[in-house]
């Protein structure tokens, strides 16, 4: 997942499990967001270095796990047709981004305290 | 990592990156906590289904990444000697657990809203 390779310090990976069949994580959020931004499953996957097949199977896993479509294609599933998020897809993505932001705030104080200690160590050695 | 397979809903994986060389995640936290509870790297790893070799290399990655020991062995590194956390190891573990708790609180409202929607869908289908 692209989310795993981001290089900023701080929150690096947040996975939230909703059921045995559905969870959200940074890679899934980036794929959904890419579909919003490019209007295409293939183009969204490509931005993340995924094959079309892999992006499509991830969309299927999202839709199947949720139980209703989060992503819909404008030509009824045609291989490279336009794609967009359903209302549920928008809700799930927006909620995940809100959780990432809330988490960054919630961990900030502890993160900074541990980082200060780490900086002290690297100065001393 | 054991942390990846926990089955409770809600926060499933929190990774915090402190530098290009050091991060904390649920598996690392569980291994450190197991060392506190068992006094042994081997026993802690075994609880998580890890070989001794893998547990030991993870401890080395933690110590090397941090730049000073987080885990120390009572017999200077002897293969199956007793092990404990240094003051830094205790700080890093305590801080990570505090961040997990803070994150659970921070995501609770969004988590519950999305879960309610998911439950409505599963009732409807």
**Could you read off the pLDDT tens digit of each residue along chain A, which spans 125 residues?**
434 445 689 999 999 999 999 999 999 999 999 999 999 999 999 999 999 999 999 999 999 999 999 999 986 555 556 999 999 999 999 999 999 999 999 999 999 999 999 999 988 87
Q: Is B118 on the interface with A (CB under 8 A)?
A: yes
Cα distance between residue B113 and residue A84, in whole Å:
22
Nearest CA to A59 out of A78, A72, A76, A46 is that of A72
Return the number of CB contacts < 8 Å for A and B: 116
What residues of chain B score a pLDDT lower than 70?
Answer: 1-7, 75-81
Contact flag B88-A125 (C-beta cutoff 8 Å): no
CB-CB neighbors (< 8 A) of A114 in chain B:
18, 91-92, 95
E strand or H helix that includes residue A16: strand A10-17
Within an 8 Å CB–CB cutoff, is residue B95 touching chain A?
yes
pTM (2 d.p.): 0.89
Contacts of B110 in chain A (CB under 8 A): 95-96, 98-99, 102
Q: Do A117 and B13 touch (CB under 8 A)?
A: no
- Please give the pLDDT value at position B80: 53
- Are residues A10 and B17, on separate chains, in Cβ contact within 8 Å? yes
C-beta contacts of B35-39 below 8 A and 24+ residues apart:
B35/B59, B35/B71, B35/B83, B35/B84, B35/B85, B36/B84, B36/B85, B36/B90, B36/B93, B39/B82, B39/B83, B39/B84
What length is written for chain A?
125
d(CA B125, CA B118): 11
Structure ipTM:
0.88
Is B3 within 8 Å of B27 (Cβ atoms)?
Answer: yes
Q: How far, in Å, CA of A10 to CA of B14, rounded? A: 11
pLDDT for residue A124: 84
């Amino acid at each position: 997942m692209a989310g795993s390779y981001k290089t900023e310090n701080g929150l690096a990976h947040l996975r939230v499990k909703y059921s045995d069949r559905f969870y959200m994580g940074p890679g899934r959020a980036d794929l959904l967001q890419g579909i919003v931004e490019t209007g295409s499953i293939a183009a969204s996957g490509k931005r993340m270095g995924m094959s079309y097949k892999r992006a499509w199977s991830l969309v299927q896993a999202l839709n199947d796990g949720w139980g209703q479509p989060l992503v819909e294609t404008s030509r009824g599933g045609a291989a490279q047709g336009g794609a967009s998020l359903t209302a549920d897809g928008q809700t799930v993505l927006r909620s995940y981004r809100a959780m990432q932001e809330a988490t960054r705030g919630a961990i900030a104080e502890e993160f900074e305290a541990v980082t200060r200690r780490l900086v002290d160590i690297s100065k001393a050695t």
